[in-house]
């Protein structure tokens, strides 16, 4: 898939362009390795115990990533259109994933297999640099979330979510409130109340 005039191609092009300007050489290099798949709302993309072998970018819809703690789902991440996801620990260690990935809307993704990413990174320095910048962004996103979750005050957590998590507006756009609440370690009622406060402030 090389044509960035398609929806899938444009989403992928835009995703990589968030980290560095993407030239035609790299974009064309990726074409033969890009695959796509669709899921219906409620479908599992990765089940607990499976090994992650892909790096995915959402073309349409929203993906919920979660684990179970005391038989309750705990949100690890929420990935809307235009952003990437995978179970990073399983992907790197080749161990069974504790994380579950579920389509909470109809979802379409484009993805690359880990073996292809590894080979391209070893043989093409431009691609290796691109992936380095992608992972820098992933680490920054996770650090920002870790930082905001340190605050016991839910008002502060929600404010920091909007101020420091660069993809906050993308997550909120198409994601039901209960998933955002879980992401911020709030009850749905807490999140509803805090969101109402911020809306009154014009934020």
Is the pLDDT confidence value at 203 over 90? no
Q: Are 159 and 152 in contact (CB under 8 A)?
A: no
Q: Which fold has domain 7-200?
A: Jelly Rolls (2.60.120)
Report the candidate in 104, 8, 98, 21 with the shortest Cα–Cα distance to residue 56. 8
The structure tokens 């995978």 sit at 86
Other CB atoms within 10 Å distance of the CB of residue 75: 17
What local confidence, expressed as pLDDT, does residue 116 receive?
Answer: 96
The model's confidence at residue 53, banded by pLDDT at 50, 70 and 90, is very high
pLDDT at position 3 = 54
pLDDT at 120: 95
The yes-or-no verdict on residue 4 having pLDDT over 60 is no
The answer to whether 160 and 151 have CB atoms below 8 angstroms apart is yes
What would the two tokens of residue 110 be? 């484009």
Q: Is the pLDDT of residue 163 over 90?
A: no
Cβ atoms of residues 55 and 117 within 8 Å: yes
Length of the chain: 203
Taking the domains of the chain in order of start, what are their residue ranges?
Answer: 7-200
Sort strands 72-80 and 107-113 into parallel, antiparallel or unpaired: unpaired
pLDDT on residue 114: 96
Question: Distance from CA of residue 89 to its chain's centroid?
Answer: 14
pTM of the model: 0.87
């Amino acid at each position: 898939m090389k044509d960035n005039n398609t929806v899938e191609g444009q989403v992928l092009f835009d995703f990589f362009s968030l980290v560095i300007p993407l030239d035609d050489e790299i974009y064309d290099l990726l074409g033969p390795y890009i695959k796509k798949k669709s899921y219906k709302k409620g479908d599992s993309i990765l089940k607990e115990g499976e090994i992650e072998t892909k790096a995915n970018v959402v073309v349409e819809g929203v993906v919920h990533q979660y684990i179970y703690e005391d038989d309750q789902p705990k949100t690890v991440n929420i990935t809307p259109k235009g952003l990437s996801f995978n179970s990073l620990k399983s992907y790197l260690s080749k161990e069974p994933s504790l994380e579950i990935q579920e389509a909470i809307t109809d979802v379409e993704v484009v993805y690359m297999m880990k073996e292809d990413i590894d080979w391209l990174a070893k043989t093409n320095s431009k691609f290796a640099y691109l992936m380095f910048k992608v992972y820098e962004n992933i680490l920054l996103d996770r650090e920002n979330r870790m930082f905001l979750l340190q605050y016991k005050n839910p008002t502060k957590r929600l404010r920091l979510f909007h101020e420091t998590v660069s993809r906050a507006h993308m997550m909120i756009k198409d994601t039901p409130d209960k998933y955002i609440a879980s992401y911020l370690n709030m009850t749905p009622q807490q999140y509803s109340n805090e969101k109402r406060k911020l809306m009154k402030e014009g934020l």
